[in-house]
Amino acid sequence: MNKTIILDTNVYGELLIEKKSEELIEKINQDKSICIYGIDIIEKELRDTPTEIKYQNKALKEAVLSIYRALVDKELKLFPVAQYLASEYYKKFDELRNSSKYSKTIVNKIQKYDEEDLKIDFQIIAVASIKNIDIVVSADKRTILSEIAEDTYRKVNNENNLSTPNLVKYSDFRKRYSK
């Protein structure tokens, strides 16, 4: 059975700057044991990349969008139930960050995050949870992959009888194709 995967927005930029970027993307593309899902909100974030930003004399926006199009097998849409679940994540996150377990251990920047700062990350996990996606890959250790965020997803998903996707660091995902 194929593993279903969502690559967080930042992964497309990470893939672009790899030393052997094209080779790595080709290996991922040839891996028939995975099915990569995109989400319209991820594509929108990539489309919102400023056109004046260049990478190796090419528009960064076009480069990351072409990687997205090359890798995504199916695209999901953000839907109202996922938006609601994401807002529930934020409520639980806010509660947890003020709890004794996390109040002294999380960095100041996370303390200051408001719902807008975390909205897309939480929406990605909400879509993945509702659609039973196996894995979400991200390079964002401060938010989407943080211990407090994982606790948040697990607690809210348990309350709603949803399974939480495995959260995988980009570096671990990349190792799979570095052989």
d(C-alpha 69, C-alpha 80), whole Å: 25
Whole-number pLDDT of residue 1: 64
Report residue 19 as tokens.
Answer: 């030393």
Q: Which residues of the chain, if any, have pLDDT below 70?
A: 1, 104-111, 179
Check: CB of residue 15 under 8 Å from CB of residue 65.
no
Whole-number pLDDT of residue 106: 66
d(C-alpha 22, C-alpha 122), whole Å: 30
Q: Counting beta carbons within 10 angstroms of the beta carbon of residue 16, is it exposed (0 to 12), middle (13 to 18) or buried (19 or more)?
A: middle
Whole-number pLDDT of residue 178: 82
State the fold for domain 3-175.
Answer: Rossmann fold (3.40.50)
In tens, the pLDDT along 20-62 reads 999 999 999 999 999 999 999 999 999 998 888 887 878 888 9
Q: Which residues pair with 55 in a beta bridge?
A: 58
